[in-house]
Amino acid sequence: MTDPLARLDQSPARMFVNLPPAELVERAIAAGEGKLAANGALVCMTGDRTGRSPKDKYLEDTKDIHDRIWWGKVNMPLTPERFEIALGIAIDHLNTRPRLYKFEGFAGADPAYRLGVQVVTEQAWHNLFAQTLFITQGSKAAGTPVPFKKDWTIINAGRRRLTAEEQAKLGVKGPVIIAQSLTRKTVVIIGTEYAGEMKKSIFYAMNYDMPEVGVFPMHCSCNVDKATGENPALFFGLSGTGKTTLSADPNRALVGDDEHGWSDRGAFNFEGGCYAKCIKLSKVGEPQIWDAIRFGSVLENTVIDDKTRVPDYDSAKLTENTRVTYPVDFIDGAVIPSVCGHPKNIIFLTADAYGVMPPVAKLSPEQAMYYFMNGYTSKLAGTEAGVTEPQPNFSPCFGGVFLPRPPIVYAQMLAAKIKEHGANVWLLNTGWTGGAYGTGQRFKLAYTRAFVTAILNGTLAKAEYKPDPIFGLMLPTTVPGVPGDVLIPRNTWKDQAAYDAQAKKLAAQFRENDKTFDMPDAVRAAGPRV
- 160 contacts: CB under 8 Å, gap ≥ 6: 89, 90, 93, 190, 191
Q: Which of 404, 328, 334, 398 is nearest to 369 (CA)?
A: 398
Catalytic residues: 52, 200, 219, 239, 243-244, 258, 323
d(CA 416, CA 155): 36
Q: 287 and 258 in contact (C-beta within 8 Å)?
A: no
Q: Which of 417, 377, 380 is nearest to 396 (CA)?
A: 377
C-alpha pair distances (Å), 416 with each of 30, 237, 362: 52, 20, 18
d(CA 216, CA 412): 10
User: What residues are paired with 57 via a beta bridge?
Assistant: 178
- The four Cα atoms 45, 50, 56, 58 give a dihedral, to 10 degrees, of 80
Q: Where are the alpha helices (DSSP H) in 21-157?
A: 21-30, 80-94, 124-133
Tell me how far apart the terminal alpha carbons of the chain are, to the nearest angstrom: 52
Cβ-in-10-Å burial (0-12, 13-18, 19+) of 524 comes to: middle
Q: 407 and 74 in contact (C-beta within 8 Å)?
A: no
Q: 120 and 154 in contact (C-beta within 8 Å)?
A: yes
C-alpha pair distances (Å), 336 with each of 255, 288, 293, 340, 502: 8, 16, 18, 10, 45
Q: 270 and 107 in contact (C-beta within 8 Å)?
A: yes
3-state secondary structure of 330: helix
d(CA 130, CA 112): 22
Checking phi first, is residue 494 left (phi over 0); if not, alpha (psi -120 to 50) or beta? alpha
